[in-house]
Chain A
Amino acid sequence: MNYAVLIPMIAFLLIIFFIGYWSSRKLAGSSNFISDYFLGGRELGGFVLAMTMVATYGSASSFLGGPGTAYTMGFGWVLLAMTQVVTGYFVLMILGKKYAIMARRYEAVTMIDFLKARYGSTAVVLLSAFSIIVFLFSAMAAQWIGGARLIESLTGLSYQSALFLFAVSVLVYVTIGGFRAVALTDAVQGAVMLVGTLVLLIAVIISGGGISNIMQDLINENPNLVTPYGADGNLGAAYVSSFWILVGVGVVGLPQIAVRAMSYKNARSMHRALIIGTIVTGVIMLNMHLIGVFARPILPGIDVGDKVIPLIALETLPPWVAGIVLAAPMAAIMSTVDSLLLLVSSSIVKDVYLNYIKPDASLKAIKRMSFGVTGVLGVIVFLLALDPPDLLIFLNLFAFGGLEAAFIWPIVLGLYWKWGNKYGAIASMATGIISYIALHFYNIANGNLFGVHTVTVPVVLSLIAFIAFSLLIERRAYDYHAVLYRNEKQA
């Protein structure tokens, strides 16, 4: 076992535990458990908000898969990865203050609360809860597998033990600490990612004999590596540009990101988060993917993309530094998993159980239920990840794009377009998911339609569906202040 690598990792996990414990003590004195557990009581500051968004978003794919692909494809893939800088400001600017105000007005704790209040429709709630539970559950399981594999490759533990270690660490602090614990650990993990990627990039450049030297090696091997078109020259401009939707602006529609956009304390926190988020996202994405490309001349012939980052770290850094640096992808995976776990659990407890099964549940029952569901979900994911079924892998393919196609218009147009109604929302979600799945199979069989990523066409179709159905069925302007009068009457 590689103790020099293991010890910094364990120290990192201990810090994370401590934060979970500390947050749980704050939770014990809470007067509004639901809002505190699932949303941290809407009191995130700018730095924590920015970091939790970056960390939730930056998952195994940005830290292992992405750099691995950059290693194979060259600079074209770094170009593609840089489309993600836009998420740093776009999500918070678009959802922005209107979302923050409306979420408070509706007393919304989850994204589904928002949709429920805006459209007043059971079908919308159940359809969204169903998509979140199915898609995000699968996405989460895939991340668990990634996390366990990383621990496995670093420590030499068996896959089962690695998975167990990972599961216990995640479950302990998500279950007791809730959203605040998740957001705070995200902040620590975001900082670890930022510093870790910088250290590794510098080490890689030094070990490659400087950037010019590395560039010469790349050109000697295959000149296509330094073009925007990929190693085989088949990375088209339309395809790369369509990632602006998948990993750029479409991220507005991801529930795990949208819920964070209602969690901040005030406008000043949001302003700070906009700036910090943009810079941190850009630096992390640029560093990670450059590392992937630069690793190629130093360590040629790696055939499993996910192994590029662990191997290059162990190659270029002293073991204990590698341990700290490799805590970064670990942090990315954990912070994605914890937010997804909490989100799926909130969909079950808050959106389904409290809305339709037992609206008058006592505080004690809700607490028990929240801890219980989060714990049980964790155990199920653990069991599934031990021997992942094919269905899980299959569903995970749709998690990102499918959810974006489903939710982007009901959220964004629900916020800004007063003619949007529940028929538009239902049609838009159904169209988004169904056309996404259909197009996925079409693209596998025939190559990408219009040369763009699968997500593009369904996003356009779901927009058309939203507008058409809202205008055709029961057209009526929505009054964003109506809920206010209702609240006043009750008071």
Chain B
Amino acid sequence: MQETDWRFRVAHREAWIGLGLALFNFVWWFAFAYGLGSRPVEEYTYIFGLPDWFFYSCIVGFLVMAVLVTVVVNLFFVDVPFDEEQEERR
């Protein structure tokens, strides 16, 4: 048994984060689009002129994801060297 490269642990964690973000993104997108969008058209309200389901699902959903990705990358993503020699010198 040999120890696992510490950079792999970082990489694996970040891949899981990616999967989590995508799942969250999907749930948000789906819930607003089909939760609000399945009502009869007469009951739609309009935000900035756009149908409410679309506004929450696609506009707000996109903004939320953009902010989330920025925050997650800045807080949880670790700067690791990619080349082997660099790593050995450390």
Contacts and interface: CB of A to CB of B under 8 A. Distances in A.
Nearest to A83: B29
A449 interface: no
B41 A223 contact: yes
Interface in A307-342: none
Contacts of A228: 33-34, 37-38, 53-54
Interface string B1-32: 01001011011101101110110011001100
Contact of B11 (A79, A97, A286): A97
A83 B15 CA distance: 19
Interface in A428-455: none
Given A96-B18, A268-B79, A286-B59, A278 B29 contact: no
B11, B48, B79 interface centre (most CB from chain A within 10 Å): B11
A163 to B, nearest CB: 36
Interface residues of A, number: 52
B82 A211 contact: no
Interface residues of B, number: 50
B8 A480 contact: yes
Contacts of B82: 97, 100-101, 104, 266-267
A244 B62 contact: no
Chain B contact residues, majority secondary structure: helix
A481 interface: yes
Contacts of B66: 275, 278-279, 282
Interface in B46-88: 46, 48-51, 53-54, 57-59, 61-62, 65-66, 69-70, 73-74, 77-84
A274 B69 contact: yes
A416 B50 contact: no
A101 B7 contact: yes
Contacts of A85: 25, 62, 65
A100, A104, A226, A481 interface centre (most CB from chain B within 10 Å): A226
A90 B21 CA distance: 8
A267 B22 contact: no
A241 interface: yes
A97 B49 contact: no
B11 A96 contact: yes
Given A223-B41, A226-B44, A227-B41, A82 B58 contact: yes
Given A228-B54, A229-B37, A267-B77, 13 more contacts: A75-B51, A85-B65, A96-B15, A97-B82, A98-B15, A101-B11, A105-B84, A212-B46, A226-B41, A268-B79, A271-B79, A278-B69, A416-B12
Interface of B: 2, 5, 7-8, 10-12, 14-15, 17-19, 21-22, 25-26, 29-30, 33-34, 37-38, 41, 44, 46, 48-51, 53-54, 57-59, 61-62, 65-66, 69-70, 73-74, 77-84
8 contacts: A82-B29, A85-B25, A86-B26, A226-B41, A228-B53, A237-B30, A266-B79, A267-B81
Interface of A: 75, 78-79, 82-83, 85-86, 88-90, 92-94, 96-98, 100-101, 104-105, 210-212, 214-215, 219, 223-224, 226-229, 237, 241, 244, 248-249, 266-268, 271, 274-275, 278-279, 282, 286, 416, 480-481, 484, 487
